[in-house]
A and B are shown apart, each in its own frame.
Chain A
C-alpha cells in the first residue's frame, strides 16, 4: 500500500494503517532520537513516545504530504525533552553496543567529532550511518530532496574531518 494511502486512512482513524506507518518510520525516528540522546534504549523510547504524541495530533494533520518530517519533528521534541530531563538527573552510562566494544582511537575520535557537530548535522550523519538508512528513507523523514541530502552529508563529513584534525586525530582513514 502506498504511503499516501496509509496516511489518508490513518488520519481517518484506521489504527492499522498508523501501525504500518509507524513500523516504516521507526528506524528513522530511533536514529533521530539517538542523535539527541546518544543512548540506544532511550532513542527507542523517544521514537515510541513520538508515535503516542503523533497519534494525538494526527486527526488535525494538515499537510499529509509531509507526514515524515512531521513525525521527525515530534520525535526531535520528545528527545529534547528527555535530554533535558536526563540533564537534571545524575548521569548513567549508555548500554554498550557492538560498536562501543571497539575501543580503538579512531572510533573514539569519530564519536567525539560527532558530538561537536551542530545537532541537525549530527542528526543527518546518524540517520545515514546509525542503521544505514537509504537516501529515500532520509528524504522521507526530513522532507528534503536526495540531492540536498548528498550536499548536506558532504558538508557534514567535511565538518567532522575538520573537528578530527583539530582534535589532533590524523589517522590513516581520513
Chain B
C-alpha cells in the first residue's frame, strides 16, 4: 500500500525537524587519534604460540565435580534461606489466628528435610542430571538473638560417588552479619547484611511465619482435618505459582496446624522450578517457646579454621542499577538475557549455558576459544594447583561472578514480594531488541518503570506501557 499524503507530510515534518547532512568518518585522522588502541589491537591479534595459550577452563571445571557442586549447593541453600525474607504483606484472614499465635512466640525450633532431584547446579554435565541432593537441618529462631541453621547435605550421583557436608549458618541481626561455618573444609565466611534485609528479617520475624504469610497472600484451600503424630490438625494448601516469588511454576504447599493451640505442626513444599528439577521440602517437629541463651547463637569457629576467600563480602545490592548490571553481565557472556530471573532457574540456565561452551570447546579447537573473554578473565584458574585448590578457587570466583546476576534475581524477587506488578520478558527479548520491554514494574498508581532490551530505562504511564507491550503491527 502506498503511503498516504498525510504520511508523506508527517515524514517531511520529521525530516525537517532533525535531518542533517550525512556525516563522513575521516579514518586517517581517527587512526592518528587512537594510536594506542590500534597498537593494542595489533598485539592482541598476533598469533599466540601454543605454549602460552590460556588453560582449558572447561576441563578444569569438570574435574572435582562433586566438590565443586558442594559450593554451588551452598549458594542454593543460602538463596532458599533468603527467600524467607522477601515476603509480602498480609491480606487474608483465614490463617490470621495462626500467625497471631506465632507472633507471640519468642523462640522456637524446627527440623527440615529437603530432597532436590535433577540438574540444578551450574556447569553440571549431562551424566549428572540424575544427581540427588538431600539435606537435613535443624533451625533455631529467636526474636532476640537471631537464627541458627545446622544442615547436613549429601550430594549423591551414585553409591560410589557422593559427598556429605555439614554447615552451620548464623544470622545475627545485632551484628548485621551472616556467618557460615563449613567444618569439613575447616572454613568459615561472613557476609555483611544490609539494613534493608535486616529490616525485612525483623519485620517478618523469620520462618515459619513467612510461609504462612505467603499462603495467606495466595489463593488457598482448606484441606480439612487429619491426624499427624497423634495430633489433630487442620490443613491449608496453595498451588499458586506466585508462591515464593514465582520461582516455580508447579507448586504445592501444605501447612498443617494444631487444632488445639493453632500452631503449625508440619509443612510440606513440592516445587518444580523447571522440567529437570524437583524439590521436596518438609518442615516438621516444631517446638514452640523454647528457652534459648545468647550463647546458643554464638558461632563455633575452632582456631584452625580459616576464612573462606569470600569472607567479609557484602550482600549483593538489590537495586535497579545492580539488576541492570546483572542483565548486562549475563548478556556480555552469553549474548542473551536470562530466560527467567528467579534464582533457581537463573542458576540452571547459567549451568546449561556453561555446558554449551564446554561442548563447543570439545568440538572445535583451539580449546577454550569459545569461552568469552569476560568469563575467561573471571575464571582465571591457574595450572599447577591441587584439585582442592582449584575447587576452592572455582567456588570463590564463581560466587564473585554470580554476584551481578544474584542482584538481578533478588531485585526481581523483591518486586514480586512487594507486589510491584513486575514482568520479565527475557524469553522473547534480547540485547538487540532495543525498543522492546525487557522488564517492568510499578512505581506508583499510574507509573511504571521500564527496562528496555538495550538496558536503558524510563518511566511510563499505564497507557504507554500497554502500547509498548502490545504486539507490533504488521
Q: Do A13 and B13 have beta carbons less than 8 Å apart?
A: no
* Alpha-carbon distance A125/B31, docked complex (angstroms): 31
Please, how many angstroms separate the alpha-carbon atoms of A142 and B11 in the complex? 21
CB neighbors of A among B410-448 (8 A): 431-436
B interface residues, Cβ below 8 angstroms from A: 6-7, 9-25, 27, 30-31, 33-34, 37-38, 40-42, 44-46, 335, 370, 372-373, 431-436, 450, 452-454, 456, 458, 460, 464, 467-468, 472-474
Say yes or no: A119-B473 contact (C-beta < 8 A), given A107-B13, A125-B14, A130-B18: no
A119 to B434, CA, bound (A): 9
Q: Is the pair A22, B27 in contact by a Cβ cutoff of 8 Å?
A: yes
Q: Are A59 and B41 in contact (CB under 8 A)?
A: yes
Contact of A111 among B17, B450, B474 (CB under 8 A): B17
CB pair A121–B19 under 8 Å, yes or no, is: no
Count the A residues whose beta carbon is within 8 Å of the partner chain — how many?
Answer: 69
CB-CB under 8 A from A142, the residues of chain B are 432, 434
A114 touches B453 (CB 8 A): no
A27 to B432, CA, bound (A): 19
Do residues B40 and A56 form an inter-chain contact, with CB atoms below 8 A?
A: yes
Which residue of B is nearest A38, CB measured? B18
Interface positions of A (Cβ within 8 A of B): 11-13, 15, 18-19, 22-23, 26-27, 30, 34, 40, 44, 47-48, 51-52, 55-60, 62-63, 66, 69, 72-73, 76, 80, 97-99, 102, 106-107, 110-111, 114, 118-121, 123-126, 129-132, 142-144, 148, 151-152, 154-157, 159-161, 171, 173-174
Tell me which residues across on chain B come within 8 A of A161, comparing CB atoms: 10
Residues in B neighbouring A129, C-beta threshold 8 A: 11, 14-15, 17-19
Nearest-neighbor residue (CB-CB) of B328 within chain A: A77
Cβ–Cβ < 8 Å partners of B433 in chain A: 144
Output the least CB separation between A143 and chain B (Å). 5
Contact B22 A60, beta carbon cutoff 8 Å: no
Nearest A residue to B458, CB-CB: A118
Enumerate chain A residues within 8 angstroms of B432, measured Cβ to Cβ: 66, 69, 73, 142-144
- Report how far A174 CA is from B332 CA in the complex, Å: 42
A156 to B472, CA, bound (A): 10
- Inside 8 A of B23's CB, which chain A residues have their CB? 26-27, 30, 44, 47, 131
Q: Are B372 and A60 in contact (CB under 8 A)?
A: yes
Contact A119–B13 (Cβ < 8 Å) = no
Contact across chains for B435 and A51 when beta carbons are under 8 A apart: no
**The 4 residue pairs across chains A and B that have the minimum distance between CB atoms:** A120-B435, A13-B45, A120-B434, A26-B25
Given contact pairs A56-B37, A120-B454, A129-B15, A157 touches B10 in the complex (Cβ within 8 A): yes
B427 to chain A, nearest CB (A): 18
* Given A110-B17, A114-B18, A174-B6, 7 more pairs with CB closer than 8 A: A13-B41, A99-B17, A130-B19, A132-B19, A151-B472, A157-B10, A174-B10
Beta-carbon contact of B373 and A60 below 8 Å? yes
Residues of A within 8 A of B38 (CB): 15, 55
Tell me the interface secondary structure of chain A in the complex. Answer: helix
| Contact, CB under 8 Å: A107 / B435 | no
Q: Are B13 and A174 in contact (CB under 8 A)?
A: yes
Given contacts A102-B16, A119-B458, contact A173 B9 (CB under 8 A): yes
CB of A69 to closest CB in B, whole Å: 5
Most chain B CB neighbours (cut-off 10 Å) among A55, A58, A124, A151: A55
A119 touches B14 (CB 8 A): no
- Chain A residue at minimal CB-CB distance from B10: A174
User: Which of A15, A59, A97 has a CB less than 8 Å from the CB of B20?
Assistant: A97
Given A23-B27, A48-B30, A58-B41, are A98 and B20 also a contact pair (CB < 8 Å)? yes
Contacts of A125 in B (CB 8 A): 14, 18
Q: Are A59 and B45 in contact (CB under 8 A)?
A: yes
For the complex, give the distance between the alpha carbons of A116 and B20 in Å. 21
Residues of A within 8 A of B21 (CB): 98, 131
Which residues does chain A contribute within 8 Å of B6, judged by CB atoms?
174
Known: A114-B18, A118-B468. A12 touches B474 (CB 8 A): no
Give Cα A22–Cα B11 distance, bound, in whole angstroms: 28
Tell whether, in the assembled complex, residue A152 and residue B16 are in contact, meaning their CB atoms are under 8 Å apart.
no
Residues of B within 8 Å of A130, CB to CB, are 18-20
CA gap between A101 and B464 in the complex, in Å = 32
Bound together, the chains give a CA A82 to CA B372 distance in angstroms of: 27
Which residues from chain A contact B435 at a C-beta distance below 8 Å? Answer: 118-121, 123-124, 152, 156
**In the complex the two chains form, is A13's CB within 8 Å of B17's CB?**
no
Cβ-defined contact, B456 with A99, below 8 A: no
Whose C-beta in chain B lies nearest to the C-beta of A130? Answer: B18
Using A55-B37, A118-B468, A151-B472 as known contacts, say yes or no to A99 and B24 having CB atoms under 8 A apart. Answer: no
Q: Which residue of B lies closest to A16 (CB)?
A: B27
Is there an interface contact between A19 and B27, defined as CB atoms closer than 8 Å? Answer: yes
Question: Once the chains bind, are B37 and A52 in contact (CB under 8 Å)?
Answer: yes
CA distance A132 to B25 in the complex (A): 16
Q: B residues within 8 A CB of A107?
A: 13, 16-17
CB neighbours (8 Å) of B31 from chain A are 15, 19
* Distance of A128 Cα from B354 Cα, bound (Å): 39
Enumerate chain A residues within 8 angstroms of B45, measured Cβ to Cβ.
11-13, 59
When distances are taken between beta carbons in the complex, the residues of chain B under 8 Å from A59 are: 41, 44-45
Complex partner residue of A40 from B20, B44, B467, CB under 8 angstroms: B20
